[in-house]
């Protein structure tokens, strides 16, 4: 089964967090080209806020880049097109999504059109998970056992 993973899930491949083991068990992972910027940004933010040494963060960023661009890449990126951006703009109205979350969902919809086996969305962001379920995606994980990113406490 092919899974579309947003940045909140992809970061868990490189940073030990709740849900990391589950994300690391996924076999066929498709991502938005947007993760090229979002994943390093998230890892560097973790470095600044959690005290991870910059040298360790650089290693994690390089591992991610290899997984995205290397000869043995394990992430399959979908290029962002004007059609994806147009759909993302509509999704902000329909679901109240933040801009990048809307781009993630619009890209996932394209991935599903290209690969009918891509029916699942791995995400840990509350609003994106809700919108993805409404768009017909199965959610990974099925339920969150901790407050999701973007939730209001």
pLDDT the model gives residue 143: 87
Q: What is the pLDDT averaged over residues 56-85?
A: 97
Give the residue ranges of DSSP H helices in the chain: 7-10, 20-24, 35-50, 54-69, 82-95, 99-114, 126-134
Taking the CA atoms of residue 41, residue 46, residue 49 and residue 51 in that order, the dihedral angle to the nearest 10 degrees is -130
**Domain spans of the chain, in order of start:** 2-140
pLDDT > 70 fraction of the chain, expressed in percent and rounded:
94
pLDDT digits (tens, 9 = 90+) for 38-52: 999 999 999 999 888
- pLDDT score at 146: 58
Say if residue 87's pLDDT is above 60.
yes
Question: What span, in angstroms and rounded, lies between the C-alpha atoms of 107 and 6?
Answer: 10
CATH architecture of the domain 2-140 equals: 3-Layer(aba) Sandwich (3.40)
């Amino acid at each position: 089964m092919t899974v579309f993973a947003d940045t909140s899930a992809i970061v868990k491949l490189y940073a030990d967090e709740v849900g990391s083991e589950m994300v690391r068990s996924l076999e066929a992972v498709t991502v938005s080209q947007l993760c090229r910027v979002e994943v390093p940004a998230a890892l560097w933010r973790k470095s600044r806020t959690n005290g991870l040494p910059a040298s360790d963060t650089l290693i994690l960023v390089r591992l991610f880049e290899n997984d995205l661009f290397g000869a043995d890449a394990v992430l399959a990126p979908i290029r962002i097109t004007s059609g994806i951006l147009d759909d993302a703009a509509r999704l902000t109205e329909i679901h109240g999504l933040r801009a990048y979350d809307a781009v993630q969902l619009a890209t996932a919809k394209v991935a599903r059109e290209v690969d009918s086996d891509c029916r699942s969305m791995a995400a840990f962001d509350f609003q994106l998970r809700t919108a993805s379920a409404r768009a017909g995606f199965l959610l990974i994980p099925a339920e969150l056992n901790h407050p999701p990113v973007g939730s209001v406490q």
